[in-house]
Amino acid sequence: MDGAGADVSKLREHNSLSIVRAMRGQPPATVTELAGRTGLSRPGTDVVVRGLVTDGWVKVVEPDGSTVGRPARRYRFNADAGHVLGVDVGAHKILVLLADLEGEVVRSHRVPVEPEADPAVRLAAVDTAITECLDAAGMRHDRIWAVTVGVTGPVDATGRTTLFTPLPGWASVSPADHLSTRFSCPILVENDCKLGAVAERWKGVAQDADDIVYVLAGMRIGAGLILDGTLRRGYGGAAGEIGALKAVRWLSAPSHLDNCPGMPPEVHPDDRAAWVFDQVRAGDREARAALRRYVKDLAIGAAALVLALDPQVVVLGGGWSRSADLIVDPLAHELDRLCLRVPEIRASTLGADSVALGALRVALDQVDSVLFTDGMPAPLTSGA
Amino acid sequence: MDGAGADVSKLREHNSLSIVRAMRGQPPATVTELAGRTGLSRPGTDVVVRGLVTDGWVKVVEPDGSTVGRPARRYRFNADAGHVLGVDVGAHKILVLLADLEGEVVRSHRVPVEPEADPAVRLAAVDTAITECLDAAGMRHDRIWAVTVGVTGPVDATGRTTLFTPLPGWASVSPADHLSTRFSCPILVENDCKLGAVAERWKGVAQDADDIVYVLAGMRIGAGLILDGTLRRGYGGAAGEIGALKAVRWLSAPSHLDNCPGMPPEVHPDDRAAWVFDQVRAGDREARAALRRYVKDLAIGAAALVLALDPQVVVLGGGWSRSADLIVDPLAHELDRLCLRVPEIRASTLGADSVALGALRVALDQVDSVLFTDGMPAPLTSGA
């Protein structure tokens, strides 16, 4: 292609993307409205929209006849043209979310797994969860345009392989390679804290913020960083792993809850935090002191991130969101003591779905990055 | 201006910028060469270059007659069209660098100041240093297009006022307001560690890196962060201030040198580190142990930043660059022990100029951000 041809093709791609972006998540719009939203000329918009309809990216919405006269034709993005999967590989569960190209979740499926499960068992559970989810939605594997898998521990720079993880045997596993025998679309692997951060900016409590420190607070503590609206992966994929540094106390923080005085021996390790929270709510002083020690340690690492990055918002995520009221205030108090400028602290409301939601967003970004390029055939030409 | 007019004006601005960028720091070039570098058409490039010559942005370089036939006319960016100032307000000195629009330093001037000087005395020294520098270069204040002032301590989000600083009384001073009575151009204030980081990426040891953790190691330890090639200021201007957290040990690290066994009482506090380095080179075991303790503490905060951000490069800056050989290896050893992935560690070679150099770069970026916009008249229309 010569220079001018490449420029025209680039411009068409650019205008198509602008119009699709102006349509997504919006009610059906007329060409005039779309021209207004994109800043393109009305005739130019009309040409691009017709092309998008021909290719299957855009659907015509017929007027419902309730208005007098001949109403203008309206258009909407064909969100069903493709779908993406977000998969959360947790210690206790595999959660699969299936979404359309507007990020609307059309199916959710959860399969329990033992924390002690070896990699083969865990990967089999991933396969089961995905297959059951797609079957329930009546969808074939080859209709999926991108898959993102959330895992514990950092993921290498290629976004395929987990580097370190508390899941038994999991560090030697490549979930992307495993799934690539079932899918021909791009498969990305990402750290769960990073995905939690992405989810909060997409559908959570930090939609208004560009600079976010996300702290996953639980019996394991981790962080995900969003700066200038972009997830920080780091040069080798290991950004956010400040918790590995003993001095910031995230490794030792959970022991304060584990060793809370009065803990009955029959309480399962996974339920110890809940037991402490219950005791705190019941007014127990020793439980309150244990929780205070946990928050003090949590605050050291959080303060290190706040002082290093000076974010707009700190989001407190993780499985304890129902007990956030017991953590946010003392955490704010500690940060106030430790930091030069204290950002707003907000508790996540996405609950247990956050990692899988973040995975969906990363999969949608992957689709967006190739939309209208040579690598991505239009829905009608690809038979979708 | 209507939409189409705005588009044309935007395009002209864009093409002018592309051509100026293709000229800067390069030998004089023909229109054909500039078209090749920018990807614009030859006739289009010719029109834009002629306009830039008319406006005074570009100079014609007449052929020297040494070639046979009629050689093509060559053009160069008129770097003398304007100048910028970078000012380092240190504890012991005011350093002023004057540079042209290509960042070439045309004058450097240093004025000593007492660490105990009050703000009025320090600001008077700033005025003296600037005036003497401009006088020596035969330049008026109104020929300066941007000034950046480097200071210790974080600077607020507007980039004008220092928030906290070890310089006596300095926190209540606005260097930008002070200088605005002398200059009508933009005046920016920035933290010295941030400027050190900028300098390393511009002219120092990290020119190839986009993700940089810069650690200023001295009797005061600080950090500047560059991610995706952009200086991180933080939401409130206070990014990089991880040293304020006691747990990462940067506050206590210098005491190991201060209290090095055998330190003669007559050694001035400013010279204690040099004394320790000398003793280490002379083979003194206690001095070596003191330095090792310093590096161990330095490494805790550095590891926190490396684990949080996973940068490509850590640059060790500050006044001790001549002794970097004594610090880099033990620091690398400590980081290896503390981090999941250890980035390359490089010692700065910019020495005492780094803060003022970074200030120049920030001033040049300020000029670039308004080049060819309505706010920036062309050199010949403004009488330059």
Q: Give the C-alpha separation, B150 to B234, whole Å.
A: 17
Query: What pLDDT does residue B2 have?
Result: 44
Task: State which residue of chain A sits closest to B238, comparing Cα positions.
Answer: A310
Write the DSSP string, B224-277. EEEETTEE---TTS-TTGGGG-GGG-TTTHHHHHHT-TT--TTS-GGGHHHHHH
> Of the candidates A21, A44, A77, which is a domain's last residue?
A77
Residue B226's contacts (CB-CB under 8 Å, 6 or more residues apart) are B197, B198, B201, B206, B209, B210, B211, B212, B214, B232
Which of A227, A297, A313, A336 should one mutate to test binding to chain B, selecting the residue with the greatest count of B CBs within 10 A?
A: A227
> Of the candidates A50, A77, A104, which is a domain's last residue?
A77
Q: Is the pLDDT of residue A177 over 60?
A: yes
Q: Do B308 and A310 touch (CB under 8 A)?
A: no
Whether A303 has its CB under 8 Å from any CB of chain B: the answer is yes
Mean pLDDT over each residue of chain B, to the nearest integer: 91
Calculate the alpha carbon distances from A335 to A122, A205, A240, A249, A290 in Å: 38, 20, 18, 14, 18
Q: Do B308 and A223 touch (CB under 8 A)?
A: yes
Worst-scoring range by mean pLDDT, A111-125, A140-154, B59-73, B359-373? Answer: B59-73
Query: What pLDDT does residue A376 have?
Result: 67
Query: For A101-126, what is the mean pLDDT?
Result: 94
Whether B43 has its CB under 8 Å from any CB of chain A: the answer is no
Query: For A240-248, what is the mean pLDDT?
Result: 96
Are residues B344 and B240 part of one domain?
yes
Residue pLDDT, tens place only, B138-188 = 999 999 999 999 998 888 877 777 777 778 888 778 899 999 999 999 999
- Number of domains comprising chain B: 3
Query: What pLDDT does residue B198 have?
Result: 98
Query: What pLDDT does residue A351 have?
Result: 84
Residue pLDDT, tens place only, A194-211 = 999 999 999 999 999 999
**Residue B378 belongs to a domain:** no
> Of the candidates A30, A57, A77, which is a domain's last residue?
A77
Are residues A252 and A189 part of one domain?
no
Whether B154 has its CB under 8 Å from any CB of chain A: the answer is yes
Query: Does ipTM come in above 0.95?
Result: no
Residue pLDDT, tens place only, A357-366 = 999 999 999 9
Query: What pLDDT does residue B6 have?
Result: 56
**Residue B201 belongs to a domain:** no
Are residues A73 and A87 part of one domain?
no
Q: Which of residues 19-38 of A touch B (CB under 8 A)?
A: none
Which domain, by its residues, includes B248? 207-349
Query: For A147-165, what is the mean pLDDT?
Result: 83
Query: What pLDDT does residue B12 have?
Result: 79
Strand partners, B354: none
Whether B101 has its CB under 8 Å from any CB of chain A: the answer is no
Residue pLDDT, tens place only, A296-328 = 999 999 999 999 999 999 999 988 877 899 999
Are residues B54 and B13 part of one domain?
yes
Q: Provide the CATH number for the domain around residue B60.
A: 1.10.10.10
Highest mean pLDDT among A136-140, A169-173, B58-62, B380-384: A136-140
Q: A291 CA to chain B: closest CA distance, Å?
A: 20
Query: For A147-151, what is the mean pLDDT?
Result: 96
Whether A87 has its CB under 8 Å from any CB of chain B: the answer is no
Q: Do B340 and A312 touch (CB under 8 A)?
A: no
